[in-house]
Amino acid sequence: MQLTMRPPDWVQRLWYRYLRIPAPLATSGGRGGEAWARLVPYRWRAFHRRYANRHGYFWLPCILCDRPFGGHESGDSIPDPTGPTGRAIIICSQCTRAGRGWRVPHPLETVLDGIYERGEHGHPELTPGCPACEIIDAEIRHAFTTYKKPDT
């Protein structure tokens, strides 16, 4: 299987605007029929159910509101409390529009945000011999070695 990442086209941008969430910089799916099927009104549940069954998408109730939805029309996600860190559960487009979703931040973002919040220390790039730069470099290296380990 190969996923090709490309910027979202205008149909996909309409979908993310409908969900009231920012469109990603790149996407790997949603081309062709799926992109158009997403734009069919939510209240046409029979259409969405047939589309999901015909094209191999799941048809399950949303974990938050119990409304059935198909994999082709999913929106945001919430953290999976039963899985390892970084796993998420997809929620329906209606819950996404209501703002019930939550993007699971990567642990590296916390480290980088902390460095950014401490502010500039005199020069824009890491400079050898600067104590502040060496601390920042050590923090970044530690974060990458800690969080980039493959799951076993």
Q: Are residues 85 and 117 in the same domain?
A: no
Q: Are residues 52 and 112 in the same domain?
A: no
pLDDT digits (tens, 9 = 90+) for 65-80: 889 998 888 778 887 7
- Global pTM reads 0.51
Q: Is position 43 within any domain?
A: yes
Q: Are residues 77 and 142 in the same domain?
A: no
pLDDT at 105 over 70: no
- The count of structural domains within the chain is 2
Q: Is position 42 within any domain?
A: yes
pLDDT at 6 over 70: yes
Q: How confident is the model at residue 152 (pLDDT cuts 50, 70, 90)?
A: very low
Which residue, of 97, 119, 137, is where some domain finishes?
A: 97
What integer pLDDT is reported at residue 37 of this predicted model? 75
What integer pLDDT is reported at residue 115 of this predicted model? 72
Q: Are residues 112 and 140 in the same domain?
A: yes
Q: Are residues 127 and 77 in the same domain?
A: no
16-23 own/partner pairs: CB under 8 Å, 24+ apart = 18/93, 18/97, 19/75, 19/76, 19/93, 19/96, 19/97, 20/96, 20/97, 20/99, 21/75, 21/76, 21/96, 21/101
